[in-house]
C-alpha cells in the first residue's frame, strides 16, 4: 500500500514544547489559593489501628486533616473489585498504606507535621513471600490468599510423560521492578460548587481515575472531571495508582475548600506505589530425541501484594504468554496471583509476560542443552506456523515466520560467528563473552473479550479552517500517541500532519477510548482514529462538497461550506470486534488477542568472572509488528523497552524488609545509564495486519519480554552458570556460578 505520511518519521507533535521546557507537567501548574497535600502511611505491614495522635509543636488548627471517617461516599479505590480502601480505617495490610491526609499552604511545615502524626497500630502476623502465601502460613486475603487462578489445558499432557524420550524440569524466579518514570506521581484537585470536582494529573487512564472518584464522593459522572497533564513517563506505573492519589487530593480539596496539590517525592513514590509482580515459575517439559516438544506443563505464580488491584489481568497475560511462540500439542498451564503484605504490585510494561517469558526462554535453552542440541535448533524445530495453535488453542491465521526473524537477527548480530569466536577466546581470558537470544510473541490489545467490554470510542471534528480535531482519552506519555494519531488521521484525509489537532485528554471533552495500556493505542485506538477520520471524509463526499482526489485547499473549503450549510462536521467511531475472533472466558481458550507481534532478540555480554559484573556489549532486536507508522518513534519504543529490560535483567533489585522497599532511592536502586546501554540495533519486518490502522499492530510492551532472557542466556553460555533468577546482580551471579561449579 502506498502511503504519504504513514511510514515516515514525522517529528514528535509536542516536541518543541518538550525541548524548550515549555511543556507543562502537573508540578508546573499552580492555582490561586492552592495548598499542598501529604500522606501519612502505615509503618507496619499488617495490624489493627488503635489510635491516631497529632503530636509535636505543630499548629494543627491550620491543617486540613482527612481520615477514613471523613469520606463522604465509598471508602475504596474502585478498579476491578472494591477491596482496596482509599484510607485504611481499622486494619492495615501493607507498609506504606495511606491512613491520614494532611494539607497546608507551607510545604515545609507540612513535612514536619507529617512526621508528627503518630499512628498506634497493634501488629498482626504478616507474610512476605510467594511460598508463605501459597502454604497459607497466614491467610491475609479472602479464604485462601488467592486473588485469581487460571487453568489452561490443551491436548492431553498426562498421556505424554511415559513415552517421552526426555523430561526436563526447572524453577525460575523474577524480582520486583520499579517503573521509575522520571516524573514522580502527582495530582491537583479542585472542588467548586459550580463545576464539581476537577483533577489534573500525571496519568495514563483518565477514565480509570474518573471511575474511582465518582463513588468516593457519590457524585454523578458529569460532576467529576479528569484532565491529563503532560506525563513524564508511565510504563504502567501510572495506570492504576493515580486513582489513589486523585482520591486523596480530592478529599483534601473537598474538606479544605481549596485547590490541593500532592506531588510524591522519589522516596515516597518508590516505597508506596506499584511495581512489577515478583514471580515464580516451574516448567516440566517432555521432548522427543530429536527435539520436538511433546508436552509443556507450566506452573506460574505472581505476588500481588496486599490488594487485588490489577493482579488478575497481569496474571492472565503472563499465563497466555507462558508457552511462547511454539507449536506444542499438549500444554497445561496453572497459574495464580497470591496475596502478601507488600504494597500491591501492579501494571508494568509487559504486564506479566516478561516474567513468564523469562522462565520459558531460559528453560528452553536448558532443554536444548539437555538434548545436546543448539538452542536455535531446538526453537526452529518447534516454532509455530500459520494454521497451528498456541497454548490457548488460538489458531494462528497471520503470516508468521519466526525462522526468518531468527535468520535476520543472527545475521545482523553475527550470532554464529561470535559463538565460535568466543568459544576460542574465552578459554584464555577471565572475561567471558557470550551471545544469547530469546524468541517470543506479544499480544496487542486487551485479552480475549476485553476490547468488546471496553467498547472504546474516538470522536473527530472539523473546523471551518479544515483543521481536524481528534478526541480520545488515550494519553501521550512519551510513546508518541499525539504524533501517531496525527499521522493516521492525516493519511486517511490526505492532509499534512500539522492540520490535525489532538485534544488534551479531559473527561469533560473526550469520549472514552479506553486506558492507555496493553499495546492497544496504535492498533485498537488508532483504528478508531482512522474510522472517525473516514467518516468526516464520507460526509463531505456525500454532501457533494468534496470529490475524491481533492487538494488540501479543497478540503478546507469543503469543511467551511459543510459547516455553514449543515452545522457541525463531526464523527464518532466505536470499536467493533473483528469477525471470527472468539474467546471462552471459562475454559480460557480461543482467540486471546487480535494480533501478535513476533520477535527474536540477540544479546552479547561480557562477564568479568572475578567480579561477576556483566556488560551488555551489543543488542539486536528483530521484530514483526505489522506496518510501522513512524520508524523513529517505533525504534524509540523498542530501544527504551530494551533498556528497561537490561535493568530488569541485571541491575534493578528491589530490596525488601518486612514488605517494605528499603532501597527506595535512585542512589541505591540502580537503573541503566548512558554508560550501561549499548547502541541498540532495531530491525522491523513489516507484514500489514488488516485489523490495524494502515496495517499496524501494537509494539509498546514487546521489548520487555525478550530482553532479560536473551541476556540471561548469553550469561549462561559465556560462563556455564545455570541462570534461574532475575536480577542477575554480581552477588546473585556469584552464587549461581558457585552453585554451577560446585
Partner 1 sequence: MPDRASKIRVHCRVNGQAVTLEVYPMTRLLDVLREQLGLTGTKEGCGEGECGACAVEIDGALVNTCLVPIAQAEGAAILTIEGVADGVNLKAIQEAFINYGGAQCGICTPGMILAVTNLLARHPDPTDLQIREGLAGNLCRCTGYTKIFESVVAACHRAERPA
Q: Which residues bind partner 1 (CB under 8 A)?
A: 8-9, 11-12, 14-25, 27-28, 108-109, 112, 179-184, 230-235, 265-266, 477-480, 631-633, 635-636, 639-644, 665-667, 671-675, 677, 679-680
Strand ranges (E), 55-165: 64-66, 91-92, 98-104, 117-123, 146-154
Helix 552-566 crosses helix 526-542 at what angle (to 10 degrees)?
A: 70
C-alpha cell, 61: 488548627
User: C-beta of 105: minimal distance to partner 1 in Å?
Assistant: 13
Q: Which is nearer to partner 1, 411 or 676 (CB)?
A: 676
CA 114 to chain centre: 32
Distance CA 530, CA 633 (A): 19
Q: Which is nearer to partner 1, 241 or 583 (CB)?
A: 241
Distance CA 495, CA 493 (A): 5
User: C-beta of 360: minimal distance to partner 1 in Å?
Assistant: 24
DSSP characters over 270-313: HHHS-EEPPEEEEEEEEE-TT--EEEEEEEEEEEEESS-TTHHH
Q: Which is nearer to partner 1, 233 or 312 (CB)?
A: 233
Q: Which is nearer to partner 1, 98 or 478 (CB)?
A: 478
Would the CA dihedral through 683, 687, 692, 698 be positive or negative?
negative
Given the C-alpha cell 474502585, which residue does it identify?
78
User: C-beta of 115: minimal distance to partner 1 in Å?
Assistant: 12
**Closest to 441 measured CA to CA, from 584, 592, 636, 617:** 592
User: C-beta of 22: minimal distance to partner 1 in Å?
Assistant: 7
Bridge partners, residue 54, by sequence: 117
Q: Which is nearer to partner 1, 577 or 615 (CB)?
A: 615
User: C-beta of 351: minimal distance to partner 1 in Å?
Assistant: 17
User: C-beta of 17: minimal distance to partner 1 in Å?
Assistant: 8
User: C-beta of 635: minimal distance to partner 1 in Å?
Assistant: 7
C-alpha cell, 710: 536473551
CB-based contacts of 509: which residues, under 8 Å, 6+ apart?
Answer: 471, 503
User: C-beta of 204: minimal distance to partner 1 in Å?
Assistant: 11
Q: Which is nearer to partner 1, 158 or 265 (CB)?
A: 265
**Closest to 87 measured CA to CA, from 70, 104, 63, 103:** 70
Helix 730-741 crosses helix 702-719 at what angle (to 10 degrees)?
A: 50
Four-CA torsion 20, 23, 28, 29, nearest 10 degrees? 140
Q: Which is nearer to partner 1, 22 or 582 (CB)?
A: 22
Pairing of strands 64-66, 330-339: unpaired
User: C-beta of 315: minimal distance to partner 1 in Å?
Assistant: 25
How many other CB atoms are there within 10 angstroms of residue 82's CB atom?
A: 14
Phi, psi (deg, nearest 5) at residue 50: -100, -30
User: C-beta of 228: minimal distance to partner 1 in Å?
Assistant: 13
Q: Which is nearer to partner 1, 400 or 711 (CB)?
A: 711
Bridge partners, residue 299, by sequence: 282, 334
User: C-beta of 325: minimal distance to partner 1 in Å?
Assistant: 24
CB-based contacts of 567: which residues, under 8 Å, 6+ apart?
Answer: none
Q: Is the distance from CB of 474 to CB of 516 less than 8 angstroms?
A: yes
C-alpha cell, 21: 521546557
Q: Which is nearer to partner 1, 305 or 640 (CB)?
A: 640
Q: Which is nearer to partner 1, 9 or 327 (CB)?
A: 9
How many other CB atoms are there within 10 angstroms of residue 431's CB atom?
A: 15
Q: Which is nearer to partner 1, 350 or 466 (CB)?
A: 350
Q: Which is nearer to partner 1, 477 or 573 (CB)?
A: 477
Q: Is the distance from CB of 658 to CB of 45 less than 8 angstroms?
A: yes
Q: Which is nearer to partner 1, 19 or 690 (CB)?
A: 19
Q: List b or e across 49-68, with b for residues whose CB sees 16 or more CB atoms inside 10 angstroms.
A: beebeeeeebeeeebbbbbb
Q: Which is nearer to partner 1, 226 or 477 (CB)?
A: 477
User: C-beta of 106: minimal distance to partner 1 in Å?
Assistant: 8
Q: How many CA atoms lie within 13 A of 676 on its CB side?
A: 18
Q: Which is nearer to partner 1, 247 or 704 (CB)?
A: 704
∠ CA 112-114-119 to the nearest 5 degrees?
135
C-alpha cell, 499: 492540520
CA 633 to chain centre: 18
Phi-psi region of 143 (alpha: psi -120 to 50; beta: other; left: phi over 0): alpha
User: C-beta of 665: minimal distance to partner 1 in Å?
Assistant: 6
User: C-beta of 206: minimal distance to partner 1 in Å?
Assistant: 17
User: C-beta of 370: minimal distance to partner 1 in Å?
Assistant: 34
Distance CA 704, CA 685 (A): 18
657 to 43, 45, 271, 287, 604: CA distances (angstroms): 12, 10, 11, 41, 34
Distance CA 319, CA 352 (A): 8
Q: Which is nearer to partner 1, 563 or 666 (CB)?
A: 666
User: C-beta of 233: minimal distance to partner 1 in Å?
Assistant: 4
Amino acid at each position: 500500500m502506498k502511503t504519504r505520511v504513514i511510514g515516515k518519521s514525522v517529528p514528535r507533535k509536542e516536541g518543541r514544547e518538550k525541548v524548550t521546557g515549555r511543556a507543562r507537567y502537573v508540578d508546573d501548574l499552580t492555582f490561586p489559593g492552592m495548598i499542598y497535600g501529604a500522606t501519612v502511611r502505615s509503618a507496619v505491614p499488617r495490624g489493627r489501628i488503635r489510635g491516631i495522635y497529632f503530636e509535636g509543636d505543630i499548629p494543627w488548627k491550620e491543617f486540613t486533616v482527612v481520615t477514613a471517617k471523613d469520606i463522604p461516599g465509598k471508602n475504596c479505590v474502585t478498579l476491578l473489585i472494591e477491596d482496596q480502601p482509599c484510607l485504611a480505617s481499622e486494619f492495615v495490610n501493607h507498609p506504606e498504606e495511606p491512613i491520614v491526609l494532611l494539607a497546608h499552604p507551607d510545604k515545609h511545615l507540612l513535612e514536619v507535621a507529617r512526621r508528627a502524626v503518630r499512628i498506634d497500630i497493634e501488629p498482626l502476623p504478616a507474610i512476605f513471600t510467594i511460598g508463605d502465601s501459597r502454604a497459607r502460613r497466614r491467610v491475609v486475603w479472602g479464604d485462601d490468599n488467592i486473588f485469581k487462578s487460571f487453568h489452561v489445558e490443551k491436548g492431553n499432557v498426562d498421556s505424554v510423560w511415559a513415552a517421552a524420550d526426555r523430561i526436563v524440569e526447572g524453577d525460575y524466579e523474577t524480582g520486583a521492578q520499579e517503573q521509575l518514570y522520571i516524573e514522580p506521581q502527582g495530582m491537583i484537585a479542585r472542588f467548586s460548587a459550580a463545576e464539581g470536582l476537577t483533577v489534573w494529573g500525571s496519568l495514563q487512564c483518565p477514565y480509570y481515575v474518573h471511575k474511582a472518584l465518582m463513588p468516593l464522593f457519590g457524585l454523578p459522572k458529569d460532576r467529576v472531571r479528569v484532565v491529563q497533564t503532560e506525563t513524564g513517563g508511565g510504563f504502567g506505573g501510572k495506570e492504576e495508582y493515580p486513582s489513589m492519589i486523585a482520591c486523596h487530593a480530592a478529599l483534601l480539596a473537598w474538606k479544605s475548600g481549596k485547590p490541593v496539590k500532592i506531588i510524591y517525592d522519589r522516596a515516597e513514590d518508590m516505597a508506596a506505589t506499584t511495581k512489577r509482580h515478583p514471580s515464580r515459575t516451574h516448567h516440566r517439559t517432555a521432548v522427543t530425541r530429536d527435539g520436538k516438544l511433546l508436552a509443556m506443563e507450566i506452573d506460574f505464580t505472581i505476588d500481588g501484594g496486599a490488594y487485588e488491584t490489577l493482579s488478575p489481568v497481569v496474571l492472565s497475560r503472563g499465563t497466555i504468554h507462558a508457552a511462547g511462540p511454539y507449536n506444542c500439542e499438549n500444554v497445561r498451564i496453572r497459574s495464580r496471583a497470591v496475596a502478601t503484605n507488600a504494597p500491591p504490585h501492579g501494571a508494568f510494561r509487559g504486564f506479566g509476560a516478561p516474567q513468564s517469558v523469562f522462565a520459558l526462554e531460559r528453560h528452553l535453552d536448558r532443554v536444548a542443552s539437555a538434548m545436546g542440541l543448539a538452542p536455535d535448533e531446538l526453537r526452529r524445530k518447534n516454532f509455530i506456523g500459520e494454521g497451528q495453535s498456541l497454548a490457548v488453542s488460538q489458531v494462528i491465521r497471520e503470516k508468521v515466520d519466526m525462522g526468518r526473524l531468527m535468520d535476520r537477527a543472527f545475521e545482523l548480530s553475527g550470532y554464529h560467528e561470535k559463538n565460535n569466536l568466543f568459544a576460542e577466546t574465552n578459554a584464555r581470558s577471565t572475561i567471558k563473552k557470550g551471545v544469547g537470544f530469546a524468541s517470543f510473541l506479544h499480544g496487542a490489545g486487551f485479552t480475549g473479550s476485553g476490547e468488546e467490554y471496553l467498547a472504546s470510542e474516538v470522536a473527530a471534528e472539523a473546523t471551518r479552517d479544515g483543521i481536524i480535531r481528534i478526541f480520545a482519552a488515550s494519553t501521550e506519555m512519551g510513546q508518541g500517541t499525539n504524533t501517531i494519531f496525527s499521522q493516521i488521521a492525516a493519511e486517511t484525509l490526505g492532509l499534512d500532519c500539522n492540520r490535525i489537532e489532538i485534544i488534551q485528554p479531559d473527561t469533560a471533552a473526550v469520549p472514552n477510548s479506553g486506558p492507555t495500556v496493553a499495546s492497544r493505542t496504535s492498533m485498537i485506538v488508532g483504528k478508531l482514529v482512522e474510522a472517525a477520520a473516514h467518516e468526516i471524509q464520507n460526509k463531505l463526499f456525500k454532501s457533494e462538497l468534496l470529490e475524491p482526489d481533492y487538494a488540501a485547499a479543497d478540503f478546507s473549503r469543503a469543511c467551511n461550506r459543510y459547516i455553514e450549510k449543515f452545522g457541525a462536521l463531526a464523527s464518532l467511531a466505536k470499536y467493533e470486534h473483528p469477525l471470527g475472533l472468539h474467546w471462552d472466558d471459562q475454559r480460557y481458550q480461543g482467540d486471546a488477542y487480535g494480533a501478535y507481534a513476533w520477535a527474536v532478540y540477540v544479546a552479547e555480554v561480557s562477564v568479568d568472572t572475578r567480579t561477576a559484573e556483566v556488560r551488555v556489549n551489543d543488542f539486536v532486536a528483530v521484530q514483526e509488528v505489522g506496518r510501522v507508522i513512524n520508524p523513529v518513534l517505533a525504534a524509540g519504543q523498542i530501544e527504551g523497552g530494551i533498556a528497561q529490560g537490561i535493568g530488569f535483567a541485571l541491575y534493578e533489585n528491589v530490596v525488601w524488609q518486612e514488605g517494605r522497599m528499603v532501597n527506595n532511592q535512585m542512589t541505591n536502586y540502580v537503573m541503566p545509564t548512558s554508560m550501561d546501554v549499548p547502541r541498540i540495533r532495531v530491525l522491523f519486518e513489516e507484514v500489514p495486519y488488516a485489523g490495524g490502522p494502515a496495517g499496524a499492530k501494537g509494539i509498546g510492551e514487546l521489548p520487555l519480554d525478550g530482553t532479560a532472557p536473551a541476556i540471561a542466556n548469553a550469561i549462561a553460555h559465556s560462563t556455564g552458570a545455570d541462570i534461574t533468577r532475575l536480577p542477575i546482580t554480581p552477588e546473585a551471579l556469584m552464587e549461581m556460578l558457585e552453585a554451577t561449579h560446585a
